[in-house]
Amino acid sequence: MKKKIPLTGNAAFAEAMRQINPDVVAAYPITPQTEIMMTFAEFVADGLVDTELVTAESEHSAMSACVGASAAGARVMTATSAQGLALMHEVVYIASGLRLPIVMGVVNRALSAPINIHCDHADTMAERDSGWIQIYSETAQEVYDHTILAIRLAEREDVRLPVMVCQDGFITSHGVEPVEILDDEVVKKFIGEFKPWNPLLDTDNPKTYGALDLFDYYFEHKRQQFEAMKHVPKAYEEVAEELSKITGRKYPKVEGFYMDDAEYVIVVMSSTAGTTKHVVKELRAQGKKVGLLKIRLYRPFPKEEISRLLEGKKAVAVLDRAYSVGAEAPLFCEIKSALYDVKAKPVLASYIYGLGGRDTPPSLIRSVYEDLMNGNISKEEKYLGVRE
């Protein structure tokens, strides 16, 4: 029996965590993620889960404890945002390098300086090369579904990699939406028992994690990690398909909206995809051939699907809620690279939007489509909604 209840994105993540009942959760508060840990701590206090909650003294230690717990043989989860993720940075690489299937909720927030607590994607973009799978969520429903999906994906024998489930700070994390929740038993059955491999706690068969790996082996071990990431697209599809059967919802790596005959397309991730869908419907009502490409799985980057969907379009605008100071914005850069191999290349435009939580109303999205339709496209990136 599925039931629909009003939840924030944070509460949706916490609810999924309750149903997953991880062995260990180690975390440290940071806005706008705090609510996840407060909600989960209540679950622990009320005995609704039997998780060991490690209330670490910092995010660096939280991720370190996650690494220790996961290597020990536990199912492990955590959550963070912005500065917290940045403080974890060193250990984020260790988690993936040691092939530990930790699942982390990231509530996207701008990085300092200047200090800001609102949404952009600079924090997770800074970790895009860290070897974690990254899934971006448009709605609280997606946060919930992705979290359950992430557990299965991370723990697949052919994957064994950590996953970040991202959502937009204060937009998704604090907005209340109706979320359809699966039965506890259904979730339990879907994720199954965690079967650790090479756990430290198998002390009869001692294990070594994190040995010194010089030029004679490091490269080969990294090569294996890259290979594991290559298994993700297929593994992802299989897990997503299985979850779809239960929920009735689809989780393609990239989601096309009115793409079939679209000539003018916006590529965007997370909550802004929702705003864009609204604008697409309005413009479609006026007979405009517009479409949206929403990226759900950002790491590994679904290059093939993207180039297939964008080939032959007239003009494509890539909206980045992040930046790379001194170079092209990250998503734009990768879309451009994905299109290198296609024959009929669309004209490309780069837009940076929403930094530090700057509001991105439908009117701004509409202005992007208008730029595309009017050929108002420059080589330089544009800043959406900034005061120049």
Partner 1 sequence: MPLTVRDLLKREEKFVYGHRLCPGCGAALTARLTMLAINEPVVVSCATGCLEVSTTIYPYTAWRVSWIHSAFENAAATISGVEAAYRALKKKGKISKDVKFVAFGGDGGTYDIGLQSLSGALERGHDFLYICYNNEGYMNTGAQRSGGTPMCADTTTAPVGKVIPGKTQWRKDLTAIVAGHHIPYVAQTTLHNPLDLVNKVRKAIETPGPAFINVLAPCVRFWRVDPADMIKLCKLAVDTCFWPVFEIINDEWKLSYKPKEKKPIEEFLKIQGRFRHLFVPEKRHLIDEIQKHVDREWNFVLKMCGETV
Site string for partner 1, 40-79 (x = CB under 8 A): ----------xxx-xxxxx-xxx-xxxxxxxxxxx-x---
Beta bridge partners of residue 143, listed in sequence order: none
Site string for partner 1, 215-234 (x = CB under 8 A): --x-----------------
| Residue number with CB closer to partner 1 (78 or 276) | 78
Site string for partner 1, 149-188 (x = CB under 8 A): ----------------------------------------
Using the rule CB under 8 A, give the single segment among 131-139, 202-210, 225-233, 255-263 that binds partner 1: 202-210
DSSP annotation of 326 reads T
Q: What gap in Å lies between CA 178 and CA 6, rounded to an integer? A: 4
Least spacing, CB of residue 302 vs partner 1, in Å = 31
Give the other-Cβ count within 10 Å of 26's Cβ. Answer: 24
Q: Note whether 24 binds partner 1 by CB under 8 A.
A: yes
Which tokens sit at 303?
Answer: 């290059």
The amino acid sitting at 112 is: S
| Residue number with CB closer to partner 1 (66 or 315) | 66
Site string for partner 1, 76-115 (x = CB under 8 A): x-------------xx--x---x-----------------
Q: How many residues form the binding site for partner 1 (CB under 8 A)?
A: 45
Q: Note whether 17 binds partner 1 by CB under 8 A.
A: no
Relative to beta strand 103-108, strand 163-168 is: parallel
Q: Note whether 209 binds partner 1 by CB under 8 A.
A: yes
Residues 6+ apart with CB under 8 A from 53: 24, 25, 26, 27, 40, 41, 44
Q: Note whether 200 binds partner 1 by CB under 8 A.
A: yes
Q: What gap in Å lies between CA 85 and CA 255, rounded to an integer? A: 27
Is the bond preceding 114 in cis, omega lying within 30 degrees of 0? yes
Which tokens sit at 211?
Answer: 């040995």
Least spacing, CB of residue 222 vs partner 1, in Å = 13
| Residue number with CB closer to partner 1 (197 or 217) | 217
Q: Note whether 19 binds partner 1 by CB under 8 A.
A: no
Least spacing, CB of residue 214 vs partner 1, in Å = 7
Burial of residue 212, with CB atoms counted within 10 A of its CB: 0-12 exposed, 13-18 middle, 19 or more buried: exposed
Using CB under 8 A as the binding rule, the residues of this chain from 248 to 287 that contact partner 1 are none
Least spacing, CB of residue 233 vs partner 1, in Å = 29
How many residues are present in the chain?
388
Q: What gap in Å lies between CA 56 and CA 78, rounded to an integer? A: 11
CA distances 20 to 40, 144, 153, Å, are 12, 11, 14
| Residue number with CB closer to partner 1 (54 or 122) | 54
Relative to beta strand 163-168, strand 133-136 is: parallel
Q: Which of 183, 184, 185, 202 binds partner 1 (CB under 8 A)?
A: 202
How many C-alpha atoms does 323 have within 13 Å on its Cβ side?
A: 14
Q: Do 293 and 267 touch, CB atoms closer than 8 A?
A: yes
Least spacing, CB of residue 151 vs partner 1, in Å = 16
Least spacing, CB of residue 241 vs partner 1, in Å = 30
Least spacing, CB of residue 103 vs partner 1, in Å = 15
Q: What gap in Å lies between CA 70 and CA 280, rounded to an integer? A: 44
Using CB under 8 A as the binding rule, the residues of this chain from 345 to 374 that contact partner 1 are none
3-state secondary structure 244-284: HHHHCCCCCCEEEECCCCCCEEEEEECCHHHHHHHHHHHHH
Q: Which of 113, 203, 245, 260 binds partner 1 (CB under 8 A)?
A: 203
Chain residues binding partner 1 by CB under 8 A are 23-24, 26, 50-52, 54-58, 60-62, 64-74, 76, 90-91, 94, 98, 200-204, 206-214, 217
